[in-house]
Structure 1
């Protein structure tokens, strides 16, 4: 480059290795959260300055939009979260509800049963009943339209879930009262488990 030439503009987010690592780590975390997360929470969890995290979030959001990705990173009142881009909502819904039927896995069936019989119920309690982390399975059931958010627990603030009308339709039921009486087979001490999945003291 000769003297006097303008330096080329840096690509968005084209910082050093630390910046690339931060963006990578933010993407990894945002892919698994089930509710919006504030920048300061992400900064605390990643051990990075809030300013750096906030800048990286803005860069990622702009980058996804510029590239026309099928998802975008949005900041809502409660924080940041990755969402399906609005113009893709119809095709996603069609794929999940009208596309090729895919049988639910055993894990998904067990998780769905717990939600059906204990609703409204938090992810923590569902995981406690099954004895394994159910976050991924719960997200799948939400995407398949079988369960949905049903507000928040007043004490813990945890998101609660319930089955949908589509769930009843798929099972050929008029209402939840038509479910077989399987509740007695679930652990009796589930009421003593808090929304983190731990036994309350």
Structure 2
């Protein structure tokens, strides 16, 4: 059901914009500002195939619907998927709790993965920093990342960047993990691009998770031709997913 025709809270005639409208509002702001930062049209992604009960049960019996992690390859894959979305080093104990595995097995798998990335000369460097683990760019490849970010300052904002920017604009301050949970994809690269372009900035840490919080900047308002965040279109129930995600 579309949000375009929705109205605000009871007793109010003020229209409430839908998610697509929020993104288009941000994009239109950049266009009005005379920049090259409007998003190019992106065709919709195909819907995933419907999975029958038989397929869902395969390999997941007795795990509450979660994949069976008895196999080391599956277990390491699960670890990698979590490490892709954390915005600060995550402790072995926390990983063990999420995956319902022993800390000993988690530690051994993390060390295997770290050694494998190094032996393969991968651009991904899995490091233990303090009491936690996180993916980093390997030092010798960092100049290419810097070049990408610098070149990106002169490129158009992608649809993914505009969607991320809309989430931050309407629900700031917000952590990277919560943004990733709402969008359903890893947002590390997009966040770095938006920070490099001066459209968002760090603003402390979340008291519950310790994750870095992000907010929009004065440049963001300037590019959209707004005097304050209050000038953004009303969004009341637009992104309920963010408020519902308390444990990310």
Q: Aligned partners of 2:114, 2:147: CA distance in 1, in Å?
A: 26
2:165 aligned residue (101, 104, 112): 112
- Find out whether 1:25 has 2:74 as its counterpart: no
Relative to the length of structure 2, the TM-score reads 0.54
- Find out whether 1:85 has 2:138 as its counterpart: yes
Instruction: Show CA shifts across 1:11-51 (max 9, x none).
Output: xxxxxx72233222222222232322111111222222211
Partner of 2:86: helix, strand, or coil? coil
Larger RCO: 1 or 2 (CA < 8 Å, sep 6+): 2
The farther-off stretch of 178-187 and 90-99 is: 178-187
8 Å CA contact 2:179–2:187 kept in 1: the answer is no
Relative to the length of structure 1, the TM-score reads 0.64
Cα distance, 1:81–1:23 mapped onto 2, change above 3 Å:
same
The offset of 1:98, in angstroms, is 0.9
Name the structure 2 match of 1:198. 244
Question: Is there any run of 5+ residues in structure 2 with no aligned partner, and where?
Answer: 1-69
The farther-off stretch of 95-104 and 176-185 is: 176-185
Cα distance, 1:21–1:142 mapped onto 2, change above 3 Å:
same
1:145 aligned residue (194, 197, 203): 194
How many aligned positions are there? 172
Q: Aligned partners of 2:122, 2:217: CA distance in 1, in Å?
A: 29
Cα distance, 1:123–1:69 mapped onto 2, change above 3 Å:
closer
Name the structure 1 match of 2:155. 101
Q: Aligned partners of 1:125, 1:31: CA distance in 2, in Å?
A: 13
